[in-house]
Structure 1
Amino acid sequence: MTLQPPAAPSTFRALPQPRHWLLLGSLLCAAVVAIGLGVQLIPGETAAELGVDQRLSLHHTAALTVLALGLNLLFSPVVGLLLTGVITLCMWLVRRDPVKAVAFFLTAGSGWVASEVFKLIFARQRPNPALLFDPLSPETGSNSFPSGHTCFAVALAFALYVLARGTRWARAAAAAGAITAVLVAWSRLYVGVHYPSDVAASFLAGSAAVVLLAGLWNRFAPGLVRRLPATALRP
């Protein structure tokens, strides 16, 4: 019987980050706050945005409805967490790269964390489904701003690009991630559970999350990885 050599310990890999990551992340967060304050303080802003949801609700088609509801399910908290967990386990157990697996999980999850923080700050009520012609997935509550689905889609797109970076699939992954995030944002308006400013702010919030996460990861993770025993870095 031939013995297989043990897998080489996983090594630290830096996440791509802008040079002034802390400044950029702070500015993106400030932009989200500015939008959140604007929709609360500008008279008639919410009513005007509701008109967009109402117009979309008047023009639902079977094919677009299937697409929108499918995206809403795929990027929902439960399914999104399951999807992220499956990819993370594949990286850990199949690709035998636990450090990169953790980096992927944290990056993808940072979008949800960012959305929950801003939701608590602004507590914006969702569009009233009773005012829509065809409410596809009636949701109520004070968690409209920003869209968690869209924040997660933005962060997941970045995380998948990180996995593909340095391969021939990098550009395709970046393009697919960007298109998917836009489609998820559209789906939340089509279904009628968010305002346009909710999904617009989500791109800023999700980007802020991954920028800050990348900076913190690159700053603190190398030291943590060096302190771990070699056995902890093998699946």
Structure 2
Amino acid sequence: MTTSEAAAPAIRTDPLSAPPTRLRAAVATALATVVALIVLGFVLRAVPIDLALSRAVHHLHGSGIAPIAEGFYRALKPLPAAGIMLVATVCVGLGTRRWRTALLFLGTVAVTWGSAEAAKLIVDRPRPGLAHAVDPVIGSVTDASFPSGHVAFTASFALALVVVLWATRWRLVAVAGGVLLVAAMSVSVVVIGVHYAGDVVASVIWVAGVFPAVRAGGAVLIARLEARSTLRRGRIGV
């Protein structure tokens, strides 16, 4: 049996840490995505062409969707989201019996989500200012709006789960659940008036463009650390 044949089963059962085949292309795509979306953010900040659509979706708060959207939004604020991510990381580690996969899951979600939050500081687009019209508990959100951190977390979390479960029988469930989760959060943040529609679309594109490079980079880093650890153990054994 060749080395590649022996490694094949591990790759099929552990897609998250599989060696990247096009690392440079993934990095180039991520950089292009970041630059393009930051430029778009400045454009939308100057000319809010998505305002009309945002207001149209926001008007749905009168149909009874608002309490659900508000609860969903508050349940995935940064602190609860971090807790959910840590619990999910432990579940991934126990479920796969590979703590390397669990660490990659945590790191990939954290970096993809965190980079979107960093972009908010650069673009610094003001919020729509519509949240107070739905619920005084949310009130006026004062931090930057573009892209949506809630949607970025939801999309990166869902995508990481899909990758982890891709080689299992739960793949379709993960894909369907992820799509519903991202769609629900995307609608929620616009309905309650804390984000423009453009913020939501930008977050989804951000995750789609950045996530593969982060995953690939993490897989390479973990592989190199494991190789060094194996080499050191070999030297100690000698």
Whether these two folds match at TM > 0.5 is yes
Matched, 1:84 2:88: no
Counterpart contact for 1:75–1:149, Cα < 8 Å: yes
Q: Which of 11, 32, 36 does residue 27 from structure 1 map onto?
A: 32
Matched, 1:13 2:17: yes
Q: Distance in 2 between matches of 1:15 and 1:124?
A: 37
| 1:33-112 superposed matches below 5 A | 33-42=38-47, 45=48, 49-61=50-62, 63-93=64-94, 95-112=96-113
- Shift in Å, 1:168: 1.3
- Shift in Å, 1:200: 1.0
Q: Which has the higher helix share?
A: 2
Query: Counterpart of 2:69 in structure 1: which amino acid?
Result: A
Q: Distance in 1 between matches of 2:201 and 2:19?
A: 25
Q: Distance in 2 between matches of 1:189 and 1:161?
A: 25
C-alpha distance after superposition, 1:115-145 (max 9, x if no partner): 2210111111111238x64356223324111
Q: Distance in 2 between matches of 1:123 and 1:31?
A: 16
**Identity in percent:** 25
Matched, 1:196 2:197: yes
TM-score normalised over the length of structure 2: 0.79
C-alpha distance after superposition, 1:148-197 (max 9, x if no partner): 00001110111101221111111221222122112211110001001111
| 1:48-197 superposed matches below 5 A | 49-61=50-62, 63-93=64-94, 95-129=96-130, 133-135=133-135, 137-197=138-198
Counterpart contact for 1:58–1:134, Cα < 8 Å: no
TM-score normalised over the length of structure 1: 0.80
SS at match of 1:60: helix
List alignment gaps of at least 5 residues for structure 2.
1-13, 231-238
Aligned length: 215
- Shift in Å, 1:104: 0.9
RMSD across aligned positions (CA): 2.7
Q: Distance in 1 between matches of 2:203 and 2:77?
A: 15
C-alpha distance after superposition, 1:83-126 (max 9, x if no partner): 11011122335653210110111122223212221011111111
Q: Distance in 1 between matches of 2:92 and 2:228?
A: 21
List alignment gaps of at least 5 residues for structure 1.
1-10, 230-235
Taking a change above 3 Å as real, the CA distance of residues 17 and 141 of structure 1, as seen in their structure-2 partners, is farther
Counterpart contact for 2:59–2:191, Cα < 8 Å: no
